[in-house]
Amino acid sequence: MPFTGRRADRPGVATELVKLALEPQGYLVEYRELPWERCLAAVRAGRADLALCAVPSEAPELRIPREPLAFSRRGLFVLRGSSLHRKGWKAARPEDLQGVRLVVPLGYDLGPGWTEFADRIRGTERLLEVRGDDPTERQVAALERGRADAAVANIDVVDHHLRQTGRQGLLVLVAKIGKAPLYAAVSPVRSDAREIALRLDEGLRRLKATGQAQRVAVRYGLAQEALFDPGP
């Protein structure tokens, strides 16, 4: 959440937008939550049809529509009251993390420079990769327990998670490190993958043009710049 979720009445912005885009065109959309690596594997193999909130670099073999569902705004966070926070530590690039232990979600694209940095330090004590159904909570727990010093995460997801768990302000955003469009990527196994991508584009453009997409985002407390390209 806020992009996807388990509750039938609160399935997330991305899930609702895909339903609203495709179901009026005759498709039935059923959402199932999986750890991200398993989700991509299922869509690649044709066991599922769409991977919600995919970044093209994570799965270039999937059919990517032209119209994004939303934009992932990435940030670097530290725990409020930690030694890094007390020192007023800031980081503008991966090279600024000298001696800092980083926690990231396993399998997620971290953006230019940051993914390559994670690849370089993988297998060392400087990188902790968390997996499971709730990687954001695992990142928070790693910071609280002293297993990591900083986390790369989606700004809107962290904000929503802390509000929902009553821990607003627990993490401090020390840097905005980029953004990326998020798509409903279509399984290449489907013979009609191109048609589904076109239908998604048509439906999503309609939802944004009529303001319906914005109203869905507001219900989840999602910033408008996460729905439209916020620029450089």
* Claim to verify: residue 30 and residue 124 sit in the same structural domain: no
How high is the mean pLDDT of the chain? 92
Question: How many domains are contained in the chain?
Answer: 2
| Tokens (6 digits) for 110 | 């971290």
Half-sphere exposure of 125 (CA within 13 A, CB side): 4
* Claim to verify: residue 211 and residue 163 sit in the same structural domain: no
Classify residue 2: in a domain, yes or no: no
Which pLDDT tens digit goes with each residue over 102-150? 999 988 889 889 999 999 999 999 999 998 778 999 999 999 999 999 9
Which pLDDT tens digit goes with each residue over 151-164? 999 999 999 899 98
- In this structure, what CATH number is given to the domain that contains residue 173? 3.40.190.10
Classify residue 8: in a domain, yes or no: no
Q: What percent of the chain has pLDDT over 90?
A: 73
Classify residue 158: in a domain, yes or no: yes
pTM reported for the whole predicted model: 0.83
* Claim to verify: residue 54 and residue 82 sit in the same structural domain: no
Q: Cα(215)–Cα(209) distance, rounded to whole angstroms? A: 12
Long-range contacts from 139-146, C-beta under 8 angstroms, 24+ separation: 139/103, 139/104, 139/105, 140/167, 140/170, 140/171, 142/103, 143/77, 143/78, 143/79, 143/82, 143/103, 143/171, 144/79
Domain that residue 80 falls in: 73-179
* Claim to verify: residue 96 and residue 138 sit in the same structural domain: yes
* Claim to verify: residue 117 and residue 192 sit in the same structural domain: no
* Claim to verify: residue 78 and residue 171 sit in the same structural domain: yes
